[in-house]
Amino acid sequence: MAWLVLKDGKAFAGEEFGFWPETEEAVSGEVVFNTAMSGAQALITDPAAAGQIITFTQPQIGNTGWRRGSEEAGKVLVKGIVLRELAGGTEGTGADGSLAEFCGKHQIPGLKGVDTRALARYLRQKGTQPGVLVRDLAAGQRFWATAAPAEGEPAPHWVYRATTAEGYFIPGTGPVVAVLDLGVKRSLLRCLQQRGFCLHVFPAGTPAAEILAVNPQGLVVSSGPGDPAGLPEIGAELKKFMGRLPILGVGLGHQLLALAAGAETYRLPFGHRGVNYPVQNLVSGKVLITAQNHAYAVRAASLPGTGLAVWAVNLNDGTIEGLRHTTEPILTVQYQPEAAPGPAVHEAVFAWLAAAVEGRWDHAERELA
């Protein structure tokens, strides 16, 4: 038997799988829950999951196996996995192995046989909080009794662990677009490649002057992990792009562009993590079903004076899902337009970018409608 012990002392029992240290070393992280029924491989390898212990509410996970090369990033920064039933999954179409084998190889501890619905309900009531995976319940309780209080993001910020170590170039036949990698997903890069863009991908800490030196016709600020308020240095560089070229912000990029414009962000009680979030486009009136994986949102009351206007909202809780600048070619989206995992109904976001980098402003505005 093994345990997940939350910071407030609540404990959930299960059986270990994957990689567990031989010593009594504790593995801690932010305990979150994801309601997606499929796409576990994409969720586990999404850089936005850095530092998290992911709880899957879908009763059985791993039945499709693990496919090498289908990961969303080369780094796996998730701290642990909690689920109800672990499937063998090696017989799935194209499977190279199982989830358990992947976790063992990448030193990810897993806990199976857990009442994940009860855990998810508890987190909904109490809010997301840190937890620790241990073999001994008393050891987990001692861990939180003696742990020093956390203050903000760990140093360095998770973004600097998720980003690429060096910049790189992906050739294409169309306009040159710079990508600021805050923990970019491979599926987002594929969506941009499908538009024919030549992509210059830069590490998170790259100065604006260095990015502008490649003469990009547009900038994409990617999604990524952690608290956007902990990255003021990136926000300061983003300000230097405003008014100079079209910008698309996704996920964390959406939040950082809002901060750069003078808005505020705040932490959601238990985040948005799943593939069935309804989002309404206020321009067209259409409702999209979206994939989401984030813990922070932009505060609507902070928008006056920033030049930003809301163009999409979450119909579950009214949070902002999209912003656009009223005078500059800047568009942001909180959900995951690359739809991995999730429904592929978000082509308008990439169509806006394609029209904007070509200077077709009227077409860019029509794409949202």
Look at residues 146, 166, 198 and tell me which one is the last residue of a structural domain: 146
Q: What is the extent of the structural domain holding 125? A: 2-146
Are 123 and 212 contained in the same domain?
A: no
Closest Cα partner for 86 from 65, 107, 108, 117? Answer: 65
Classify each residue of 201-225 as buried b or exposed e, where b means 16 or more C-beta atoms within 10 Å of its C-beta. bbbbebebeebeeeebbbbbbbbbb
Are 165 and 140 contained in the same domain?
A: no
pLDDT at 154: 60
Are 110 and 169 contained in the same domain?
A: no
Are 35 and 60 contained in the same domain?
A: yes
In a domain, 211, yes or no: yes
Are 21 and 164 contained in the same domain?
A: no
**pLDDT above 90 (res 203):** yes
CA 191/CA 342 separation, integer angstroms:
14
State pLDDT tens for residues 82-131: 999 999 877 667 778 999 999 999 999 999 999 999 999 999 999 999 99
Which residue type, as a one-letter code, is found at position 62? G
Classify each residue of 103-136 as buried b or exposed e, where b means 16 or more C-beta atoms within 10 Å of its C-beta. bbebebbbbbbbebeebbebbeeeebebbbbbee
**pLDDT above 80 (res 204):** yes
**pLDDT above 90 (res 63):** no
Are 112 and 195 contained in the same domain?
A: no
Give the global pTM: 0.95
Are 109 and 191 contained in the same domain?
A: no
Angle between helices 252-260 and 232-239 (to 10 degrees): 70
In a domain, 153, yes or no: no
> For the chain, how many structural domains are there in total?
2
Closest Cα partner for 302 from 201, 354, 228? Answer: 228
In a domain, 152, yes or no: no
Closest Cα partner for 259 from 291, 293, 227? Answer: 227
Look at residues 103, 123, 146 and tell me which one is the last residue of a structural domain: 146
